Structure 1
Amino acid sequence: MNTLTTDKIIRFSKVILMSYISFFGLLVMYSNFTDYASNYEYVGHVLSMDTTQHNLSIRYRAITSPMLHHRIYWLIITLEVTYTAFCLLGTYHLLKNINASKEKFHEAKRFSIIGLLIALFIYYLCLQVIGVEWFDMDTSQTWNAKDWARHIVDVIFPLLIYIVIRVER
């Protein structure tokens, strides 16, 4: 009889948590494709810095070209699709190798790790670093996703650590 050991639970937890972040990515993609206008409007306001505190010493950073707004938004969408695809692929590989040796299971983590790193790039570097620090997004009363992005990073970063560590045998 196959017993449910702590090692099995740890392996299954990695698959389940990766499926959660993959599902989040699918919802974000769905939102971007079905409500392009609203999300584009958000990107446009952040890049234009038109709703931030009017600090004239940093206004030179604003990007006001609608063409560039669309291109940057499509870059973000492309990155979101990419991280979601890697996370889905990572979830599949973890599940496929759930009963494999510890070495094979560890190697099955590579797509998950890549997906999570891309997600960190989007939500930490793009939104929290560039959005907040460069485009002053946190001073906008309307178009401010600093806390939203922080909550996502608060899930993704520990998940990345948990996926990477070799605790399963």
Structure 2
Amino acid sequence: MKLSGTGILDVVGSRRMAVAALATITGFYYLFVAFTNCVDTKTNRNAVGAVLSMKSTIHNAGTDWRAITNSNVALVAYILIVTWEFLIAFALLAAAAVWVRVLTGRPRRLRAGLDVAVKLSSLGWTMAMLLFAGGFLTVAGEWFRMWANKEVNASSAALQNFLIAGVGLVLVHLPESTTSRDTPAEQG
């Protein structure tokens, strides 16, 4: 079977296919996470409030001043997190749709090709890194001492999301390779 003059294994076994699959999986993952945060608001809002208030962490006069106990601030932080998760999901799912068009050789009808697929993927995974490395590991983890919070510690989940986004960014920005069947002299 051939797609646009290319063998099927050249398509399904390609780095582009791996990037498309990872963009699709992570796009749906963030969509599910954001949706769950909208459905189970009580649990998730309480978690954000618990981290910001630092009520279940190691107490020290040198760090306790950082606590934010205002429920309105916690609500705004929660809304921003969920909105950001939806934006990540939309960027990655849009990237996945463009990757499908690229892989099937039909980018012209969509007027979006490889460049758009790469940029949308990169945008989505960069946004995920900002949220999980910046927001959860740095701000929540260190500033609000989430790592020591007995009630809510999402550090390992944040690290997991950061690493997956990092793998996606590395894959999407690898240079295109040429196959050994391009010229007989290169097959040596």
TM-score, normalized by length of structure 2? 0.83
Unaligned runs of 5+ in 1: none
Query: Of the candidates 156, 162, 166, which is equivalent to residue 153 of structure 1?
Result: 162
Equivalent residue number for residue 128 of structure 2:
119
Who is 1:130 aligned against? 139
2:8 to 4, 11, 19: 4
Indicate the RMSD between aligned Cα atoms, in angstroms.
1.7
Q: Assess if the C-alpha contact under 8 Å between 2:11 and 2:103 holds in 1.
A: no
Deviation of the 1:99 alpha carbon: 4.3
1:108 alignment partner, SS class = helix
Could you list the structure 1 runs, at least 4 aligned residues long, displaced by more than 4 angstroms after superposition: none
The 8 Å contact of residues 93 and 109 in structure 1, kept in 2 or not, is answered as: no
Report which of the two structures shows the higher radius of gyration computed on alpha carbons.
2
Larger displacement relative to structure 2 (154-163 or 63-72): 154-163
In the alignment, structure 1 residue 72 sits paired with structure 2 residue 77: yes
Higher helix share: 1
Q: What is residue 59 of structure 1 aligned with on the other side?
A: 64
* Alpha-carbon distance between aligned partners in 1 of 2:153 and 2:131, rounded to the nearest angstrom: 15
- Larger relative contact order (C-alpha < 8 A, sep ≥ 6)? 1
Give the one of 40, 44, 65 matched to 1:39.
44
Q: What is the DSSP-based 3-state SS (H/G/I as helix, E as strand, rest coil) of the residue aligned with 2:63?
A: helix
**Paired residues, number:** 167
Stretch deviating more after TM superposition (3-12 or 20-29): 3-12
